[in-house]
Amino acid sequence: MFEDDDFDSMEHHNHVRQMPIYIKAEEISNLVYHLVKSVENTDIKYKRKGEKKLMEYNLSYMMENSLIIPTKIMGAESVDAYDLKMENATIIRKSAREIINDLQGIEMLGFDEIEYLDLLRKEVENFRVLFAEWVKTFDPWDYTIDRWGLFNPPGINYDDHSPEDDIPFDSENIFEDFFDDYEDEDWEDLEDEDSETEEEE
């Protein structure tokens, strides 16, 4: 049982890594990494107190944003619900736009190797097109109502009634379905693993 789940998960992971948008996101992360190293190795003459710290902040934030993008693509591709896909997509868009803002900050702070900055701007623009086409593949009708009102399909309001609202919540049996999914041999395997771990300790 667990082996099949692991195989499906790995197969899905490999599929996402082959998607054009994911490949482009990885390229951007790689470009950002090399740009950060280039800036760090450049002897920039800062004009005002605090500009060096601001540059370090920009570089760190840009690196962080570049790593968020492929992670959130993987996250969006791991769910079917429209609102969850859109939530990931929103974070991706925010991160990509902030990379552009940080590029402007780096240039203003004195990094003058414009070809590096323009190359990254171009790749983010290419990513934007892939992103817009990718979002069009999200099925808005595979949804649960977003009670925050952000990511509902056209005509669906945050306060609309949902059939799920009529399902009673049974706190006493909350774990029943979970435990019923496992057969006796699965639990025996887990117990054997725990025993082996205890013996090794």
Model pLDDT, residue 11: 87
Q: Give the residue carrying structure tokens 């992971």.
A: 13
Instruction: Look up the pTM and report it.
Output: 0.76
Residue 140, burial from CB neighbour count under 10 angstroms (0-12, 13-18, 19+)? middle
User: Sign (positive/negative) of CA torsion 170, 153, 67, 39?
Assistant: negative
Number of H helices, E strands in the chain: 7, 0
DSSP 8-state assignment for residue 78: T
pLDDT digits (tens, 9 = 90+) for 52-102: 999 999 999 999 999 999 999 999 999 999 999 999 999 999 999 999 999
Q: Given this model, what pLDDT does residue 30 score?
A: 97
- Which range, 61-65, 107-111, 161-165, 191-195, is most confident? 61-65
180 band by pLDDT with thresholds 50, 70 and 90:
low
The pLDDT value recorded for residue 144 is 87
Residue 42: both structure tokens together:
């450049």
Residue 174 has pLDDT above 70, yes or no: no
18-32, 118-132, 143-157: which has the minimum mean pLDDT?
Answer: 143-157
DSSP code of 1? Answer: -
Domain 2-135, CATH among 1.10.1040.10, 1.10.3470.10, 1.20.1440.60, 3.30.465.10: 1.20.1440.60
Q: Which pLDDT band holds residue 25 (cuts at 50, 70, 90)?
A: very high
Residue 158 neighbours by CB under 8 Å, 6+ apart: 145, 146, 147, 148, 149, 152
Q: How do the domains of the chain map onto residue ranges?
A: 2-135, 163-200
| Residues 99, 62 contacting (CB under 8 angstroms) | yes
8 Å CB contact between 143 and 156: yes
Identify the pLDDT of residue 46. 87
Q: Note the pLDDT of residue 162.
A: 75
Residue 116 has pLDDT above 70, yes or no: yes
| Average confidence score pLDDT of the chain | 85
